Structure 1
Amino acid sequence: MASFCSVLLTIVFIFTITASVTRISSSTRTFTIVNSCKETIWPGITHSENISGGGIELKPGKSTVYTASSGWGGRIWARTSCKFNKNGNGTCQTGSCGSTLNCTGPSSPPTSIAEFNLGEIDYYDVSLVDGFNLPVMVKAFNGTGNCSTAGCDGDMRQNCPSDLTLKAKGKVIACRSACDVYKTDEYCCRGKYGNPDTCLPSNYSKSFKLVCPAAYSYAYDDPTSVITCSGANYVVAFCATRNQTVCSYHDNQLFCNQSKGLKVVPHRWWVAVLAIPLMLKLCVMF
């Protein structure tokens, strides 16, 4: 029995160390990226100080996890209809960030973008300022504060003004921004229009806002678009609605958003936690 107790104490020690490491790692954040589309996508990820990122192929119904530091700031979006060779060189119809699987630059418009600035208070939004290529929503979980869901439930490809449509083989594959099409200071909110007093919603941005009320429609659309939260992790789901249940399983944890918010359902390790007191009691008895 002495050997049993020795083994048991070793298990307790290892678990204690693991728990400590877990607490330390809580300073990092996770982004669970989910593809709810019917097509394969190639997510792009860029840090505000480092444009290298991406390199992920995500088939329909699949998900992946990206881990960032608590001070991370950057963008997440989807590239569509990409073709890469065995060397990782190729092109995409929308969302390109260079000519390789790993991004070498920012996303090319038109692209729906999830934006984050993490800190003591996180700021996040979904931006259609650069146009629209896929619906995308952002859900926060285990955070405190507002933490509401950002994103676009509608599909601007089906509601795009005719002069902003981007087509391939006669099919609308994206909706461009008025700035991208006409390149005027007024539509691009620059020059004398480079402040919130002079840069006002246009008929084009209003059409985006009508379909996607919880997303940025133009550069100074702050009051209805930026969301704050503290200490959260995030799900970024493409082709999912803001009220849709989205689940992803990673690192022995099942992530699902329900009506009361996203829940984290841990597996395996908690069984050991509950069993330890009983095993210690048995060790003392014998």
Structure 2
Amino acid sequence: MEAMLRSLLFLSAIFFFFFVSVEVSATTMTLYNKCRHPVWPGIQPGAGKPVLARGGFKLPPNKAYTLRLPAGWSGRVWGRHGCSFDAAGRGKCATGDCGGALFCNGIGGTPPATLAEITLGNDQDFYDVSLVDGYNLAISITPFRGTGKCSYAGCVSDLNTICPVGLQVRSHDNRSVVACKSACSAFNSPRYCCTGSFGSPNSCKPTAYSRIFKTACPKAYSYAYDDPTSIATCTRGSYLVTFCPHH
């Protein structure tokens, strides 16, 4: 009996060591909802990368969900809000909707939506929070367990409260601003979209609209060529993506 007990304890220790080692060495992305309302995260992989967690799920307030990221994975995460789905997963969201489905399955979100973007590399990971497709919820990315600069990225300000009238997306009852369009989406002009003759960093410069975003959220992409102050790097880190980090 004692020998069996010792054997079980030994096996338990081995399994514990194995799982802790895997957990420490694996890259994870934890999605944490600090909002006062539910958020339905959407997850879209980069080309050729696997879909994680069927591309979307419901995350109640003050709950977290951890995903293990495959080596070399890249993709984007955004928060959908004001969603309603039936038992079959069909429905819609007030912001960030992905084809009227609970499980986005690789489909991107309908702008405007704040994006958390990440690309895992062998030597360095790249990550950022982007307002290029507009804003709906505050998002931050905080790395941990990595080496290098591993700086924080995000937009913690509520841009819906300062969104210019021409960019506002209002609720169905018209009582509140639920999202803020990018100037590109609102006006579809090469100057704001960095296309055509404005399709290079030298010709596409900040605009009055992108400066509003940048002033409120200096650690986020405010327009397509806002690279120097917006992209962050870390080596072999794991990442905490927080919705409504200011709450």
Aligned residues: 240
* Match of residue 274 from structure 1: none
1:128 to 114, 131, 134: 131
* Match of residue 207 from structure 1: 212
2:149 to 146, 150, 160: 146
RMSD (Å), alpha carbons: 1.8
1:183 and 2:204 aligned: no
- Give the match's secondary structure for 1:74: strand
Whole-angstrom distance in 2 between the partners of 1:5 and 1:61: 45
Matches within 5 A, 1:149-164: 149-164=152-167
- Flag the structure with larger Rg: 1
Whole-angstrom distance in 2 between the partners of 1:165 and 1:223: 28
For residues 151-207 of structure 1, the C-alpha deviation after alignment (integer angstroms, 9 at most, x for no partner) is 012111001111100101221000000000111111111122111111111110000
Shift of 1:20: 3.7
In the alignment, structure 2 segments of 5+ residues that lack a partner are none
CA contact (8 A) 1:51 1:106 kept: no
* Match of residue 263 from structure 1: none
* Match of residue 61 from structure 2: 60
Shift of 1:23: 3.1
Greater strand content: 1
Whole-angstrom distance in 2 between the partners of 1:226 and 1:129: 13
- Give the match's secondary structure for 1:12: helix
- Give the match's secondary structure for 2:226: coil
Whole-angstrom distance in 2 between the partners of 1:98 and 1:60: 24
Closer/same/farther in 2, CA of residues 51 and 205 from structure 1, 3 Å limit: farther
- Give the match's secondary structure for 1:225: coil
Whole-angstrom distance in 2 between the partners of 1:55 and 1:84: 12
- Give the match's secondary structure for 1:37: coil
1:109 and 2:111 aligned: yes
* Match of residue 35 from structure 2: 37
Whole-angstrom distance in 1 between the partners of 2:23 and 2:154: 28
* Match of residue 92 from structure 2: 91
Q: TM-score, normalised by structure 1?
A: 0.79
For residues 49-89 of structure 1, the C-alpha deviation after alignment (integer angstroms, 9 at most, x for no partner) is 25854331111111111221121100011001011111110
* Paired amino acid for 1:129: V
In the alignment, structure 1 segments of 5+ residues that lack a partner are 245-286
Shift of 1:93: 0.9
Of 56-65 and 25-34, more deviation after overlay is shown by: 25-34
Whole-angstrom distance in 2 between the partners of 1:181 and 1:22: 48
1:234 and 2:239 aligned: yes
* Paired amino acid for 2:198: Y
* Paired amino acid for 1:34: Y
* Paired amino acid for 1:200: K
* Match of residue 11 from structure 1: 9
- Give the match's secondary structure for 2:116: strand
CA contact (8 A) 1:43 1:58 kept: yes
